[in-house]
Structure 1
Amino acid sequence: MSAIAEETIQPCPECDSEIRGDSRFTLWCTACDWNVDPAAPEPDLGRLERAGRALARRHGEQLLTEMLSGSDGRPRRDASAVAATVLASAVHGITVALAVGGVWCMVAGWGGAGIVAGLVLLALAWLLAPRPGRLPEGRPVLLRADAPELFALVDDVARAVGTPSVHAIAVNGSINAAVTTYGIRGRRLLILGMPLWEILTPEERIALLGHELAHYANGDLRNGLVVGSAVRSLTVWHDIVRPIAHPTGLELIVNALYVLPRLVIGGLLILLLRLTSRAGIRAEYLADRMAAHTASTPAAVGLMDRLLVTESLGVWLRTEANRAALRGPRSTRNAAERADELWERLTAYVASIPEHEYERQRRAGARRGHQVDATHPPTHLRRAALLAGQSEAADAAAVTPQAHESDVIATELATARSEVARRLLRGALDD
């Protein structure tokens, strides 16, 4: 997809209004919304995903109404939260019971059968036990000594949010950002998708950091140690009892034995989703509010708009990778130059996206309840909440970019951004 606008003019097939658009993007009518959402219907997402998305949509609307009515939206330890914690503890109790049962079988004096049964139970307990996260392998990971200016910015944002800062920053090729933990001590990790970072203004980058760091402070049960690890364990169980595709005669029997456990495990997962969905959606709204407090409402809204065109950015990056493959191998120097130039071309492409494409994405999102995934409220509701609270957030941003800061941070990220660009040109678009 080119970075050069290609204007197109045609009458609307529905209302005959004049349509002025850019042929690189979907042509649609602003008067009657003809062709505003031409995307094919999504494939069947499965029972768990459908349930999660339905809950995200319903709770997103309910919580938006509450926040617009003046609610502070702060996390509450309500009955759902208590029930979710109890259920999650029971899930972990099963893992503990498997481990205890395995040890008991091995020492009960049943001979070889007891040892085999014990090993099977211990293997299951090991498979299902919660595991601490790890630093990503094969991706650039920055520590404080590697990028002091970037960490100083993250520290400033963390103070504004009211939470401790991160211990490491991983850089990858996703059009996204996230926070998580790693290691037994639960050290904090910020994951920055370089394509997203590159297309944001300095103010929008601060909003992005404010949103992500706010997740550490907003009491989202799904990211907590007890409930979050229980969801992961149940997901593993659900995958273990997945029906075997194209089964043989014996595998048909195995599939039949899987039916009841899969229904029970799926039911437990849906129940945990129901119990934690509202808290998770509230955490997203609160993170958006904190992003506006940290960087200003216009910056947070600008970030939201950039997220609307991530699909187009993914297509653009894959096109660039295909072009690089067609050019074939070049010298190491040319490859490095192409990698560095990728970010300039990406920034130019994003700058060329017309406003009517952003507006189309907003209207299409409102029609289909657009959401990033089952843990986020629809994006158009998040944007509405930010705009509704703009008068309350009229004070100066808590963190403002400094004149020299962006250049220094770019220098600190130079090696990582070149490595990520080379991966992207090889077609490795990170998840």
Structure 2
Amino acid sequence: MGTVDEVDAPQVRQCPGCGAAVAVNARFISWCAACDWNVDPGAPDPERGRLAVFRRRLAGRHGQQLAEEIERSGKEPGRAGPDRSTVLAFGVSLLVHSVTGGLLLTAGLLIIGGWGIGFLPVLGVVLLVIVAALLPRPGRPPRHAPVLYRADAPQLFELIDEVAAVVGTTGVHAVVVDTAFNAGVSAYGVRNRRVMYLGAGLWEVLTPQERVALLGHELGHFANGDVRSSFVTHGALRTLAHWYSFLTPNPVEGFLDLCVNTLVFLPRQVVHGLFLLLDGLTMRASQRAEYLADAHAARAGSTAAAVTMLDRLLIGDAVEAHLRRTSTATRAGRGSHGQEAREAVERELWEGLAARIGSIPETEYERRRRVSARRGHSVDDTHPPTHLRRRCLAAAEPQPGQVVCDTSRAQSIATELAPARARLTHTLLRDNTG
């Protein structure tokens, strides 16, 4: 979809397709807004696995249907009541959990009831070990990315709390800052503490109000009541994924490996089928949750900020190219012990990124929006197509935004994030060495 290169003064040429005037700029792809000539000259998206293609098509179909429903109603999407798919998903989830519970109960009966009866207690212990191995582990914050708590960034957490109150939920216990062009929310630990992931690649190219909209979207997922994120269904999906990984065949190096792989083949296929079934049953609810989270983004940060925040999702390739190119070009400075040299590298990476992305003109965003509609761009296989999300937001009644992040507040938060940003700079330089 094109990347940002050298700055050049725009010129004008004639479109070979329709004869309309076409702006020419060395930084961007030349295209015609009148007839779409050269709007998408890039190579087609790479072929993906059949499962990924199926999930993307399913997400696109549900996303299109929901977008049409939202536009017809003229209202923001509301929480959907339990439908047949939701009930079936809940039933499949209970089935998955009942298998785990049944194995645990059987192990207990073999150990307690079969005590002193030959090999039964030993079999029970073996089964108990298998159950322990099959249980999904509680999530935890990553070890190799900066993790911020309330004492580390009080201004950031205060902003998150304000946005959470607007969308009807509570804040988070921790914020993980990484280099990704993404953001998300999750839970970790046995106490199910909330964590937010903020990718600096995305955060740094957003305006302060777009950041509020981003927080509103992510925190909105906690307020949605999405069946896919519920304790029962989400736990079942994690359990099935863990089982599938556990049952992965071993490389055949002998007769024993062949026997084990033969034994796990059928259970692995059953687990895979259950995962696909549960994934499909919850897909429409997941799509609705994304549209509702976008409505939360508009309520928190304003409709205008939410719309332009979605536009920023289309320039991820340019962001990643800048970080990769800049970190590679400046990696020689990594060995410098001078504070001034390290700060210069950091400024070039992050402030240079913000300036470069901020100079992208509206015509380039429009081109990318059209490419997005053609290719069905989405954040991942579970999200509605980005152009449909933007269209629904733009068509809704404009909202002014209930949380304001002014320049002073944005600067205070940037100061709190500075140590994390320095660590990310070191990570980028290290990863792009050699």
Kept after mapping to 2: 8 A contact 1:288/1:386 = yes
Number of the residue aligned with 1:64: 67
SS of the counterpart of 1:426?
helix
Number of the residue aligned with 2:153: 147
Kept after mapping to 2: 8 A contact 1:339/1:425 = no
**Residues 1:3 and 1:154: Cα distance change in structure 2 (over 3 Å):** farther
> Quick check: 1:345 aligned with 2:352?
yes
Number of the residue aligned with 1:377: 384
2:334 & 2:156 partners in 1: Cα distance?
35
> Quick check: 1:271 aligned with 2:277?
yes
Alignment gaps of 5+ in structure 2 = none
Number of the residue aligned with 1:406: 410
> Quick check: 1:227 aligned with 2:233?
yes
Number of the residue aligned with 1:39: 43
Number of the residue aligned with 2:183: 177
Aligned counterpart in structure 2 of residue 160 of structure 1, from 160, 166, 186: 166
**Once the 2 structures are TM-superposed, how far is the Cα of residue 7 of structure 1 from its aligned partner?**
4.8
Number of the residue aligned with 1:101: 106
SS of the counterpart of 1:373?
coil
> What does 1:6-405 align with in structure 2 at a 5 Å threshold?
7=10, 19-37=22-40, 38-47=42-51, 49-70=52-73, 72-75=76-79, 76-107=81-112, 108-109=114-115, 113-114=119-120, 117-244=123-250, 247-248=252-253, 250=255, 251=257, 254-325=260-331, 329-333=335-339, 334-389=341-396, 392-394=397-399, 396-405=400-409
1:127 & 1:14 partners in 2: Cα distance?
62
Kept after mapping to 2: 8 A contact 1:322/1:427 = no
Kept after mapping to 2: 8 A contact 1:130/1:230 = no
Kept after mapping to 2: 8 A contact 1:14/1:32 = yes
SS of the counterpart of 1:69?
helix
Kept after mapping to 1: 8 A contact 2:71/2:395 = yes
Deviations 1:75-115 (A, max 9, x none): 22222212211211111111122222333334424778545
Kept after mapping to 1: 8 A contact 2:153/2:417 = yes
SS of the counterpart of 1:216?
helix
SS of the counterpart of 1:412?
helix
**Once the 2 structures are TM-superposed, how far is the Cα of residue 306 of structure 1 from its aligned partner?**
0.6
Kept after mapping to 2: 8 A contact 1:336/1:422 = no
**Residues 1:127 and 1:30: Cα distance change in structure 2 (over 3 Å):** farther
1:360 & 1:257 partners in 2: Cα distance?
53
Deviations 1:186-233 (A, max 9, x none): 222111112211111111011001101100011122222111111111
**Once the 2 structures are TM-superposed, how far is the Cα of residue 128 of structure 1 from its aligned partner?**
2.5
- Give identity over the alignment, percent: 44
Amino acid at match of 2:392: A
**Equivalent pairs, count:** 424
**Once the 2 structures are TM-superposed, how far is the Cα of residue 377 of structure 1 from its aligned partner?**
0.1
1:248 & 1:226 partners in 2: Cα distance?
39
How does the TM-score come out when normalised to structure 1?
Answer: 0.89
> Which 10-residue stretch deviates more, 32-41 or 362-371?
32-41
**Once the 2 structures are TM-superposed, how far is the Cα of residue 8 of structure 1 from its aligned partner?**
7.2
Deviations 1:125-174 (A, max 9, x none): 22322433212223222222222211111111111111111122221111
SS of the counterpart of 1:311?
helix
Deviations 1:247-295 (A, max 9, x none): 4564555555444333322221111112111111000000101111111
Deviations 1:26-67 (A, max 9, x none): 4444343344332333223242x2332122101100101111
1:131 & 1:225 partners in 2: Cα distance?
14
Kept after mapping to 2: 8 A contact 1:157/1:209 = yes
Kept after mapping to 2: 8 A contact 1:3/1:348 = no
**Once the 2 structures are TM-superposed, how far is the Cα of residue 383 of structure 1 from its aligned partner?**
0.5
RMSD value over aligned CA atoms? 2.6
SS of the counterpart of 1:400?
coil
Kept after mapping to 2: 8 A contact 1:318/1:427 = no
SS of the counterpart of 1:413?
helix
Kept after mapping to 2: 8 A contact 1:209/1:291 = yes
SS of the counterpart of 1:387?
helix
Amino acid at match of 1:238: Y
1:119 & 1:18 partners in 2: Cα distance?
77
1:147 & 1:385 partners in 2: Cα distance?
34
**Once the 2 structures are TM-superposed, how far is the Cα of residue 12 of structure 1 from its aligned partner?**
5.4
1:224 & 1:122 partners in 2: Cα distance?
27
2:319 & 2:312 partners in 1: Cα distance?
10
How does the TM-score come out when normalised to structure 2?
Answer: 0.89
Alignment gaps of 5+ in structure 1 = none
2:144 & 2:385 partners in 1: Cα distance?
33
Number of the residue aligned with 1:418: 422
1:18 & 1:92 partners in 2: Cα distance?
63
Kept after mapping to 1: 8 A contact 2:210/2:305 = yes
SS of the counterpart of 1:169?
strand
Kept after mapping to 1: 8 A contact 2:136/2:242 = no
1:12 & 1:255 partners in 2: Cα distance?
60
2:76 & 2:39 partners in 1: Cα distance?
35
